[in-house]
Chains A and B, each alone.
Chain A
Amino acid sequence: MAQRNVLIMINRPPYGSIYYTEGLRAAVGVTSGVDENKATVAYLGDGVYFALTGVDRKDTDRYLGTLKKQGARLVVQKESLKERGIKEADIGEGFEILPAKEIFLLLQGADFTMDF
């Protein structure tokens, strides 16, 4: 198997379900193994609340640490922030803010996508 680019899209907010955690767990799984797949995590819609400064990430810190070591990108959709009245300054360290057009390019370049 060759290296694959995988885009993990997280649509759900970081409360009320385990999808936001499971999405990151899947991303870690993608980067594991001999193929050295590349994972990018995109936060869309209500998923962007995960990227706010001050969010309790005790349950995902280890996933985020692993993804950082693997060079995975964590991107947040700019339009979703605007729709929710969230200032870009309120987004935590380690997250990139990208417009939908650029997230589409990530999607276009992905061999495989997953949604959570």
Chain B
Amino acid sequence: MGNLYLINKEYGENGLSLAYYDKEAIVVLLHDGVYISPKLYPSKAKIYAIKQDVEKRGLSGKLSAEYMVAFSLPKHVEFIDYYRLVDLIVENKVINFA
């Protein structure tokens, strides 16, 4: 069981500042949290984003693996649905910033 950081835009950066020190952090970007700059993603964290929220905001391209590589951004983002988010919530300790 790891720490699952739920990150929305408004206070998400506070959560990322703590997740930075977490070697096993799991971060889920949801709602407007998908707008947070990839430069702020904790380097050791596994990063997920809710696919539906990404697509609604037209960010599929800018959070794609190809874009991250092309612009030397630090992390790859894995897109998941809300069913997978529920699994993650059940499996981990939730740290909510959403």
Complex Cα–Cα for A77 and B17 (A): 10
| Selected contact of B11 from candidates A45, A101, A114, CB within 8 Å | A45
Q: Which residue of B lies closest to A112 (CB)?
A: B93
Least Cβ distance of B7 to chain A in Å?
A: 11
A86-116 CB mask vs B (1 if < 8 Å, else 0) is 0000000000000011011101100001110
Summed over the interface, the residue pairs from A and B with CB atoms below 8 Å come to a total of: 43
Instruction: Please classify the interface of chain B as helix (H, G, I), strand (E, B), loop, or mixed, using the class held by over half of its residues.
Output: mixed
Contact between A113 and B95, CB atoms less than 8 A apart: yes
19 cross-chain CB contacts under 8 A: A12-B11, A44-B17, A45-B11, A45-B14, A79-B17, A80-B14, A100-B17, A104-B18, A104-B19, A104-B20, A104-B21, A104-B22, A107-B3, A107-B18, A108-B22, A113-B94, A115-B11, A115-B96, A115-B97
A: residues with CB less than 8 A from B are: 9, 11-12, 44-45, 77, 79-80, 100-101, 103-105, 107-108, 113-115
